[in-house]
Structure 1
Amino acid sequence: MLALDHIVLAGENIEESSTKYGRKFAIKAIKGGEHEEWGTYNYLAYFSNESYIEWLGIQDYEKANTSNNPLIQHLVHNLDKQIVGPFQFALRTNEMDHYIDHFNAKNIPFKGPFFGQRERPDGTNLTWRMLFPSYDYTREMLPFLIEWGSSIGSKGPSVDSLSNPQAIMKINYGGIDREKFEHIYQLKPKRLLKKQFALQNSTIIFNEKNNFTFDLV
């Protein structure tokens, strides 16, 4: 089963944004690192249900603007339009190759997988792969799949000593057809609640509006 890995927030000054968010919700965010290939950097806040928030910003606009990574393209679009805040989320899997086979077999258009890496402040290297069902980021959003390197495992890059006690328990999501969502991600709704999809560590709740929010409790 898929798990919620993280929520991505766009920001022009992500250090300031993460600090303000931390004061408002009593959470601690830390500097993540730099993605040299994409011209981006991030701040992170880890939570008790093995998920986290990522504030993603641009430090080299030329690199970011020419990236073929759909997440970076989406980020550039939003910041060009001065749209900040949550705009994407990642679903964690240990079976990315299975999803690649599934997408190919069912003629589901996709991009990737994209290899990512960054150096943590402590000097250790973090690696991952990302897979994107194709979508038009100017009007919609489909969550992407992420698979962490073997040294990280199924829990993602969480750091227990830095985790906040809160958890992201609900994702409110809409804007696409629910059956299409089921087909792409091979998820089934709860038996009595057809608009809810259970993840390993959270719940996706479909709404009729084209919006995306989350509940931190």
Structure 2
Amino acid sequence: MSTSQPTQDTDSAAPAAASDNATSAATATSSKAVAPSSRPQPLQGAELFSAIESLTTKILSASPVYSHLLSSLSLQSASPGQVTYIWPQLPAHCLNSHHTLHGAVSATLIDFLGGPVIASTSSNPLEAKRGVSTDISAQYLREAKEGERVRIVGRAKKVGKRLAWVGVEIWAGGKEGGPEGGEGGERLCVEGSHTKFIA
């Protein structure tokens, strides 16, 4: 007596497997495409300005050095990756014996701006990791004189997972509401860089 063995329909199984593979690949591709958009975006406009202003107060109040030297700074503008502060008049307690901006105060400004600039790239600046300094440098180009208007600009060069690089410019002169930079009568006095470990 002969028995027949069941046979597998390989022709019909192959398309089904191919269909399953295609569905899996499409799902994976779709997931990869959606992932970047789920990353929190930095704050913008008035919401960011308010957050950086609050953060500035928080940082100043937590540091006796900052609060003594920089308490009269006012925030002029904030955008993701760039923060600008103003001294309407260079304070007397920030001067050297020549009645110009003290080099140590310039270095303190470069140090200070690192935190707010890094935080400005976050969706939650008040809670963002601002890190610790690994390197600070300054190039002293010109003097800022007693009583002059001083503008300090910090820009994020790169904010990575572990390190952040911030560039800082200190300008003196010019008038409130007038053109900024060399065309507005301002002089670039100090160029600085600040590297922070943020992991």
Query: TM-score, length-normalised on structure 1?
Result: 0.30
> Which is bigger in relative contact order (C-alpha 8 A, separation at least 6)?
1
More strand by share: 1
Hey, which of these two has a bigger chunk of helix by percent? 2
Q: TM-score, normalized by length of structure 2?
A: 0.32
Larger Rg: 2
